[in-house]
Structure 1
Amino acid sequence: MRIKVSHATTYSYTAPADGVVQALRLTPGDHEGQHVVRWRLDADVDGRMRDSRDAFGNLLTMFYVDQPVRELTLRVTGEVKTEDTAGVVRGAVEPLPPNVFLRTTPLTTPNRALLEFARTIPDGAPLARLHELMGRLHARLVFDTTATVVATGAADAFDQGRGVCQDYAHIFIAAARCIGLPARYVSGHLVRADSSDQEAAHAWAEAFVPDLGWVAFDAANGVCADAFYLRVAVGLDYLDAAPLRGARRGGGEERLSVTVRAHQAGVQRQE
C-alpha cells in the first residue's frame, strides 16, 4: 500500500526567540517492507538544514534559524510504499548491536510492580514471550490522553494503568528488558480506520528475537506492525526518537501545535 503523510508542527512564542535550533527526526528510511517514494521537509522561516545520521542510524536533520522569530512551522509531506512483513524489520541501518537496547533510561526504569509483572511472563521462546507481554499489556492498560505527560516514565504509567501510545511503548520496553530481551522505542505513523487526522505521530516498540531479528510490537493496539505502519526513528526511549527536539534563547512562553494526517488514498482500512 501507499501511505501519504502530512505533518506540521508550529511553535509560537510570546517574545522573539533567538538562536533556535531544532533536531528533526521526521524522515523515514528504506528497508524491507518500506520504500520512500517521495519526502519533503520545509520550514516557513529562513534557516539552514544539515542532514546526517545519529548514533541509532536515524536520518537526522538539524535546522538552524537565521533570525529571531515569533512563530515557526515545520512541515513534512511525503509518500511511502509499505508491505506487511508480520512486524519483522530487515534491511534497516543498524549501527549498534542489539544488547545496547538492554540499557535502562529514566523513562524506561522499572519499579518493583513492573519488575514483578515482567517476571510473570511464562518462560519459553522469546517470540512467544513477547506476544504474551504485548497481549497482557493491551488488556491491562487503558488508553487515556489525559493521564500522562511527555515526561511520564514507564513505572508511573504502569502504576496508573493508563496512558497513550508512548506510555504503552515505554512499559513494553521496560518489561522486555526485565526478562533479558533487547527492546527499543519507535516513532512513526499509523493509518487508522477511524480517522486520518491525528494530534500526534504514533509510537510502538521493537524487540530483538534471536534468529529472526527486530520485530515490531504495538501494545496500544495489540498487534505487530503491518503495512499500515510507517517507521521513522528508533532509540532507547522517546527522547532518542522524538520527531522534534529543540533549543532557543528567549522567546518567553512557548505554544506548540501539531497536526498529523496519515492515510491511504482511495482505500479505507477494514476492521
Structure 2
Amino acid sequence: MKLQISHETVYRYEQPIRNLVQSLRLTPSVFEGQKTHDWQIQVSGGVRGPGFRDGAGDWIEGWTVRGPVAEVTVRIEGRVDTRDLAGVLRGHREAIHPMSYLRDTAPTEPDAALQDLSRTAGTGARDPLDLAHRLSAAVSEAIAFRPGATEARTTAAEALALGEGVCQDHSHALISVARIAGLPARYVSGYLHSTRDGEAHDAAHAWAELHVEGLGWVGFDPANRCCPDERYVRLGSGLDAPDAAPIRGVAMGSSAERLDVAVHVQELTQ
C-alpha cells in the first residue's frame, strides 16, 4: 500500500517563550514492512541539530527554536510504501536486548486486576505466540474503545478499572499483562489508515509489540483487535507512551501552552 502522510503539530503559547529545544522521533522505522520516500520534517523558525539512531533502532533528531516566539509548527510530509508482515517486525536492526522491556513503568505498573487478567488469559496457552494473542484479545474485551474516556496520564490499571479507553490505554494494558506473563513488551507510536463505511479515518495511532521466541517482535493492536498490517506506519518505540513520544521538548519561559494536531493519511493510486 502506498500512503501519503501529512502531520502538523502547532504549539501556541500565551506569552512568548525564550527558546525551545525538541527531540523528534518522527521518521518511519526501517524494516522489511515499509519503505520511506521524500520524507520531510520542518520546524518553523527552527534549526536542525544532529540526528542519531538509538539502541531501539529509531531515528531521532534535535531541533532548536530561538525566541521570543509565541507559535511553533512542526510539519511532516512524505510517502511510505507498506506491506503486510502479519505484525512481525522483520529486518529491523536494534541493539537493546529484549529482556530490557520486562521493566515496569508508572503507566504500566500492574495491580491485582491486571495480574488476574494476565493469569486468566494465559491459561491453556500452547506456546508464546498463542499466549500473546490471548493476552491481546483479553485486553480488547476488558477495555472498550471510547475516545475521551481517559487522559494522557491515565495508567493501565486505571483504564482497566474504568473498562474504557483509547489506543494508548489498550497498549499500556497489553504491555502490562504481557510483562506479568514473562513476555517482553513495548509501546509503539505511528500512523494508521483505515476505512469505515466507505469513509477514510486517518490518525496518529499506538499499539504494542511483544517479543515472541522464534519470531522476534510482533505487533498487536488491541484497540482494533488485529496485528499491524499494510495500513500501519511504524515510527518508534519505548517502554511506554512518554518514552516513545514522537515529539519531546523543553520550552524556556513560563507560559501556558495550547496544542493542536492534525494528521492525514491518504492511500495513493498504485
1:204 to 193, 202, 207: 207
- The reply on whether 1:41 has 2:35 as its aligned counterpart is no
In structure 2, the residue matched to 1:227 is 230
Tell me the distance in 2 between the aligned counterparts of 1:101 and 1:233.
Answer: 14
- The reply on whether 1:156 has 2:151 as its aligned counterpart is no
Q: CA deviation at 1:39?
A: 0.5
In structure 2, the residue matched to 1:98 is 98
In structure 2, the residue matched to 1:138 is 140
Q: In 2 relative to 1, CA 60–196 (structure 1 residues): closer, same or farther, beyond 3 Å?
A: farther
- The reply on whether 1:245 has 2:252 as its aligned counterpart is no
Q: Which stretches in structure 2 are left out of the alignment for 5+ residues?
A: none
- Encode CA deviations 1:81-109: one digit per residue, 9 max, x unaligned: 11111111111121111101111011111
Residues 1-271 of structure 1 mapped to structure 2, 5 A cutoff: 1-120=1-120, 121-122=122-123, 123-194=125-196, 196=200, 198=202, 201-266=204-269
Question: Is contact 1:7–1:76 with CA below 8 Å preserved after alignment?
Answer: yes
Q: CA deviation at 1:251?
A: 4.7
Q: CA deviation at 1:263?
A: 2.0
Q: CA deviation at 1:41?
A: 0.2
- Encode CA deviations 1:129-150: one digit per residue, 9 max, x unaligned: 1111111221221112222111
Tell me the distance in 1 between the aligned counterparts of 2:20 and 2:55.
Answer: 23
Question: Is contact 2:142–2:160 with CA below 8 Å preserved after alignment?
Answer: no
How high is the TM-score relative to the length of structure 2? 0.94
Q: CA deviation at 1:49?
A: 3.0
Tell me the distance in 1 between the aligned counterparts of 2:54 and 2:151.
Answer: 26
**Aligned with 1:146: secondary structure?**
coil
Identity, in percent, stands at: 43
Tell me the distance in 1 between the aligned counterparts of 2:41 and 2:219.
Answer: 26
Task: Tell me the amino acid that sits aligned with residue 229 of structure 2.
Answer: D
Task: Tell me the amino acid that sits aligned with residue 250 of structure 1.
Answer: G
How many aligned residue pairs are there?
266
Question: Is contact 1:48–1:64 with CA below 8 Å preserved after alignment?
Answer: yes
Tell me the distance in 2 between the aligned counterparts of 1:97 and 1:263.
Answer: 35
How high is the TM-score relative to the length of structure 1? 0.94
The runs of 4+ residues in structure 1 deviating greater than 6 Å are none
- Encode CA deviations 1:125-182: one digit per residue, 9 max, x unaligned: 0111111111122122111222211111111111111111011000000000000001
Tell me the distance in 1 between the aligned counterparts of 2:112 and 2:251.
Answer: 38
Question: Is contact 1:169–1:185 with CA below 8 Å preserved after alignment?
Answer: yes
Tell me the distance in 2 between the aligned counterparts of 1:18 and 1:90.
Answer: 43
Question: Is contact 1:18–1:251 with CA below 8 Å preserved after alignment?
Answer: no
